Amino acid sequence: MSMDEKELIRGLYRKYWRYMIDKDAEGLRSLMAGDYYLLHMTGLKQSAEVFLRGLLDGTFNYYSAEHDCIDVEINGDRASMTGRSRVVAAVYGGRKSSWRLQGDFTLRKEEGVWRFTSSRASTY
């Protein structure tokens, strides 16, 4: 697999954060497979639509993201990616704080396009 493919996936992660900060639900939807789900640090599993509703209604507010590393492994039409980013966010009514967030993502290539199938949030 070419490094170009890995760089393409790294670019999706950067877009993901830009869309999160901009509260661009359509942009985020374009990155997600139909069966995408998010696993929060709390263990709560949310579908894309439930998560996007939380983003749009102010439950989740992201202000900036500085990416420390984005590791990608590709295996055929599946991939895994771990992104580590320093994020400024306010969630669940809390105050604005800095977090060192790790996102463990899975991806699937559908009709030539990589899409996120899941993400699991943790800290590092």
User: Does the structure show a pLDDT above 80 at 2?
Assistant: no
- Give the DSSP letter of residue 56: H
User: Does the structure show a pLDDT above 80 at 40?
Assistant: yes
Predicted confidence band of residue 41 (pLDDT cuts 50, 70, 90): confident
Helices (H), the chain: 3-22, 25-31, 48-56
Question: In the predicted model, what is the mean pLDDT of residues 87-96?
Answer: 94
The better pLDDT of the pair 2, 113 is held by 113
Burial class (CB in 10 A: 0-12, 13-18, 19+), 81: buried
pLDDT of the residue at 1: 53
Q: Which of 105, 106, 115, 57 is nearest to 85 (CA)?
A: 105
- Both structure tokens of 61: 């507010």
The domains located in the chain, with CATH, are 3-123 (3.10.450.50)
pLDDT of the residue at 42: 87
Say how far apart CA 36 and CA 21 lie, in whole Å: 19
